């Protein structure tokens, strides 16, 4: 294992279990492993549809809004 991958896994250990599962799915997908698709709830499907419709209309977050979200999540 490379030092970078080891560092990434160590950082992932401090995340909530749902975030760890997301990371695990991505790693397995990149490594060519079989990963079952994640089932979305009706609310999640509706949110995605609304986001796609907003994008088609050209409605995107401003740089200020993006920075505010990043700051909220410590990024």
Boundaries of every domain in the chain: 42-72
Integer angstrom CA distances of residue 48 from 22, 55, 66: 17, 11, 18
pLDDT digits 0-9 by tens, 30-70: 888 776 778 899 999 999 999 999 999 999 999 999 999 99
pLDDT digits 0-9 by tens, 20-31: 999 998 898 888
State how far the Cα of 28 lies from the Cα of 4, in Å rounded to an integer.
17
State how far the Cα of 73 lies from the Cα of 75, in Å rounded to an integer.
6
**Under a CB-based contact definition with an 8 Å cutoff, are residues 25 and 38 in contact?**
yes
């Amino acid at each position: 294992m490379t030092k970078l991958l080891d560092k990434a896994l160590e950082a992932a250990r401090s995340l909530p279990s749902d975030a760890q599962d997301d990371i695990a799915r991505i790693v397995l997908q990149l490594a060519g492993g079989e990963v079952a698709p994640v089932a979305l709830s009706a609310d999640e499907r509706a949110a995605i549809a609304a986001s796609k419709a907003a994008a088609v209309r050209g409605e995107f977050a401003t740089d200020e809004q993006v920075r505010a979200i990043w700051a909220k999540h410590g990024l």
